[in-house]
Amino acid sequence: MVSRWGTVPELTLKGEPAFKRIPFLIVVAGTRSKNRLDYVTFGTQELAEAVLAYLADRQSRGEKLTPASPLVNLSAFASANYNHARVKSDFITTTVITRGLRNAIAKVLPEGVEWRPYVLRAYCSTQLWAAGNHGKIDRDAREAILGHDLGVSGRYNLSKRLHPEMVEELRAAYARCEGYLSTVPTRDDAQGAANATRMLLLGIKYTEEEVARIDLEKLSTEGLQELVAKKLVKPALAPPPPTPVPSPARKHKVVKTGEVARYLDAGWVPVMKLSEKEVVLSPPVA
């Protein structure tokens, strides 16, 4: 299994390795296809990050990467695999890379579960099928990306070189399926969640300016709860003022007219005259 840089034409080696496009193009030669036809497929952002990390590790070990270097070399699988490969170059055979995949899968499987490396292809096929059910990709594009022969009636003829417009059409279809293929949240997932959060905050009377100051993609669940609480949770009502205690009723007094002067000097207040001889007085205010 010879994997050269030409199989990933959008991977550049100028300075640090990088991909020109995401999803990035993968050219599969007919010699490695069951139907012996060349075809193109693509890689996700998650795969691109894994490839770049792998290449960076090789560079850190002193390897100089050139267009003649293998994309996956033998030393990455440890020297013990060299005998299994039975080759005298840095390129890996299908046997070696399959063994590496099998060992990696075995380390993460639950006890009693057995998977072959082929399960990775089955996963891709199943996820593309699920994406098709949600209108992300049509059958012909799915089959073409998987390298299946569509026959003479197929929209994407794998027996000849695809026109660049067809390649871009396949790339766009693959990009719509990335969320189904990745095992980690994609940029689109994060952006979609951020948009939903933005609409929520605007719906509870946050202004555009207030929302613009919030990093929605990094906003934690607790942070969102605090923002919602500020708008929706009403502050505790202040306790009502104490009811004033009524002053005790003042007892009026009927006084003889001859005694009124003395009471008035003491602060009493006349209320009404009952007769020529009696007057009602109110006691002085305390």
Encode pLDDT of 121-132 as tens digits. Answer: 888 899 999 999
* Residue 31 half-sphere exposure toward CB, CA atoms < 13 A: 5
- CA separation for the pair 264, 256 (Å, rounded): 12
* Lowest mean pLDDT, pick from 117-121, 126-130, 245-249: 245-249
CA–CA dist 224, 202 (Å, integer): 13
What pLDDT, on a 0 to 100 scale, did the predictor assign at position 126?
92
- pTM, whole model, 2 decimals? 0.57
99: pLDDT confidence band, cut at 50, 70 and 90?
confident
The confidence score (pLDDT) of residue 238 equals 65
**Could you tell me where the DSSP H helices lie in 177-220?**
178-181, 187-203, 208-212
| HEC profile of 48-77 | HHHHHHHHHHHHHCCCCCCCCCECCEHHHH
- Looking at residue 231, its pLDDT comes to 77
pLDDT at 172 over 90: yes
Contacts 24+ apart (CB under 8 A), 222-229: 224/197, 224/200, 227/201, 228/200, 228/204
Q: What is the pLDDT of residues 150-166, one digit of tens each?
A: 766 566 665 566 788 88
Encode 76-86: b = buried (16+ Cβ within 10 Å), e = exposed: bbeeebbeebe
Task: Give 21's pLDDT tier (boundaries 50, 70, 90).
Answer: very high
Tens of pLDDT, residue by residue over 196-234, are 788 778 877 888 888 888 887 778 888 888 888 887 766
Q: With bands split at pLDDT 50, 70 and 90, how would you rate the model's confidence at 61? A: confident
Query: Residue ranges per domain, the chain?
Result: 5-71+117-181, 187-232, 253-282
